[in-house]
Structure formats: structure tokens, C-alpha cells
Copies of this chain bind each other. A is one copy, B any other.
Amino acid sequence: MMGYNIVFIGAGNLGVHLAKALYDSGNHIAQVFSRTGNSACYLADQVNAIYTTDTASVVDADIYIIAVKDSVYHELLPHIDFNNKLLVHCSGSIALSVLKDHSSNYGVLYPLQTFSKDRKLEFRKIPVFVEANNLENEDVLKELANGISDHVLHLESDKRLFLHISAVFACNFVNHFYTLAAEILKSKEIPFHVLLPLIEETAAKVESMAPHMAQTGPAVRYDENIIKKHEKALRESGNYEYLYHIVSKSIYNYYQNED
């Protein structure tokens, strides 16, 4: 691979990890744009790039990668000139077609992972889903993605939306439940780390078992005494009773329907 000239639009959690991976795999990061100067500077520094906070100063490149919060696409894109080059976004839930008014060459490169700036990640293990407006552009994206990941797959926008939703359940909602567990423990002065072997094993189990086969606990057994005892305890401590109730019911319903 010769390496492409890439401009990064966005320097958040995803932008940082993706730009570094692309830089490390032999591409040239021509410029980093972010509305936040600090973020732009931080990332530019790590990938040997220049940076700007001004949409009018975005430079020419082979590929423009949009890695911003989904809600700012519409404010940002009309103000940048992409020179009709390959314009790529990285969002799970935004259709390929939103880019068509901004360039005649466009695509999606969606790495399925939770990105926090300071975490080291093995990018090659991350599945990357690509889609483009024509085969030629899709080949460019595949080449780019193969440079950073061992798991590059084609996926259309409507399926990618559901992939993203599944990731919200399996990651964002899961992490929130870790957070609530931590809060509950904190209220009783029990350190969070006692849960780590359980969290690790819960995640490890589904590598070799279907998740519905790995389910344990009071809700799947429908141990009503325990469920009511937990709801009462949460009610008295003033938190999370309703969430507990709703998720327990969802578990119960799932296995009822299965029989």
C-alpha cells in the first residue's frame, strides 16, 4: 500500500484511535480539523499533522474522514469543501446517503468498538464495516481498513443501524449497569473490584456459549422471593428499583417465550 493523504474531521475518542491506527499503517494524516483547538492540537501532534479549527482552512486530500458526534454533521459538512474527493463517515447509525450532497465519492468505515482516549487498543482485532457509493470507492475503503484490521466486512446502512443498536445494548447499557453496580456497592462501602472476576467471567462465557444459554440469577430461575427482596431493598435505599423490575421482567419474559 502506498498510503493515502487523509484529513480528519473530528478529534474525539474515535477520531484519536482511528487516526493513529491509519497513521501507523502507513497513511499520511494531512490535517486534523476540530472545533475544539485543544483536541485538534492533541491529535495532530500524535500523527505528525497540521491542525485547524476553521472549516474554511481544511486542505486538499485523497480522503476526508468524518469522526464527529452524529448531531453536528449537518452544521459542519456544508461549510467544508471536500474537493469531490472520497468522503467517509464512521457512524453506526447514519446512512451512507447523507454524504451524497457533499461529494460524488463517499463511503462509510465503521469500527465496532468502545473508544476512550487513554485506552490502548489492538485495532487489528476490531471489526470494521465498510460501504461505499461504488465498487471503486469500496475497494479504497477495504484497502484502508485492511491496513488496520483483520476483520473487514461489507455492511449496508440499514443493517449497520441494527448492528449499532446491538452494540448499545452489549456495551453502553452494559457499562451503565457496571456503573449502577458500583454505586450500589459504594453505598455499602464495598469496593468495586470485588465484582471484577464476575464481570470478566460474564463476558468470557459468551465467547463459547450463546448468551441465552449463559443466563443465571434470580430472574431466569424466577426466584420470586429474591426478586421481591431486591426490589424492596432498592426501594428503601431510594434507587434503581424500577430498572431492576423492568429488566428482571424482560429476562423472565424472554425465557417464558422460549419454552
In the assembled complex, A80 has its CB within 8 A of some CB on chain B? no
Task: Knowing A69-B221, A165-B184, A197-B126, say if A246 contacts B246 (CB, 8 Å).
Answer: yes
Is the Cβ of A214 less than 8 Å from the Cβ of B69?
no
Residues of chain B within 8 A (CB-CB) of A200 are 203, 207
In the assembled complex, A76 has its CB within 8 A of some CB on chain B? no
Is the Cβ of A197 less than 8 Å from the Cβ of B116?
no
Closest chain B CB from A193 CB (angstroms): 8
Residues of chain B within 8 A (CB-CB) of A187 are 162
Task: Knowing A190-B163, A233-B162, say if A195 contacts B168 (CB, 8 Å).
Answer: no
Contact of A167 among B181, B219, B223, B251 (CB under 8 A): B181
In the assembled complex, A100 has its CB within 8 A of some CB on chain B? no
Is the Cβ of B185 less than 8 Å from the Cβ of A163?
yes
Closest chain B CB from A257 CB (angstroms): 11
Most interface-central of A171, A173, A225 (chain B CB within 10 A): A173
In the assembled complex, A57 has its CB within 8 A of some CB on chain B? no
In the assembled complex, A201 has its CB within 8 A of some CB on chain B? yes
Nearest B residue to A197 via CB reads: B125
Is the Cβ of A170 less than 8 Å from the Cβ of B188?
no
Is the Cβ of B218 less than 8 Å from the Cβ of A168?
yes
